[in-house]
Amino acid sequence: MPTREQVLRLLDSGLGYEEAARRLGVPAGQAYMIATGLPADGGDTLTDAEARRPGLLSTSSQHLANPQPAENPTSRTTVARWLKQRAADDEPMRRAAARRKNEEQ
């Protein structure tokens, strides 16, 4: 398991988390957690002290925890059909759609 000092040393040398992690044999999100003590998923609100930790990225760190690109399921035709059917089966949704259509005319 790499140490905090090892990760920070690689970052200080100009490497990014992905390359530092590759050299240390760990996932990038794990290298981020080792360096900062914080998860890379970006789900926490940071205190002032946490925001000053060495190695903390000033931008999102989400890509370190989830390197695979997210897929938007609404781009699938099967999902679009399912959503359309759900809306058609829902009386309040049908009324809202009818109101919206009337307002647009």
- Give the chain's radius of gyration (CA, Å): 23
What are the tokens at 1?
A: 């398991």
> Would you place residue 32 in the very low, low, confident or very high pLDDT band (cuts 50, 70, 90)?
very high
Alpha carbon 28 to its chain centroid, in Å, reads 14
104 to 27, 29, 85, 94, 101: CA distances (angstroms): 51, 48, 22, 15, 5
Q: Mean pLDDT throughout 15-33?
A: 96
45 to 50, 70, 86: CA distances (angstroms): 9, 23, 36
Q: Helices 28-36 and 17-24 sit at what angle, rounded to 10 degrees?
A: 100
> Would you place residue 58 in the very low, low, confident or very high pLDDT band (cuts 50, 70, 90)?
confident
Q: What is the largest CA-CA distance in the chain?
A: 65
Look at residue 96 and tell me whether its pLDDT is greater than 80.
Answer: yes
Mean pLDDT of the chain: 89
Alpha carbon 76 to its chain centroid, in Å, reads 21
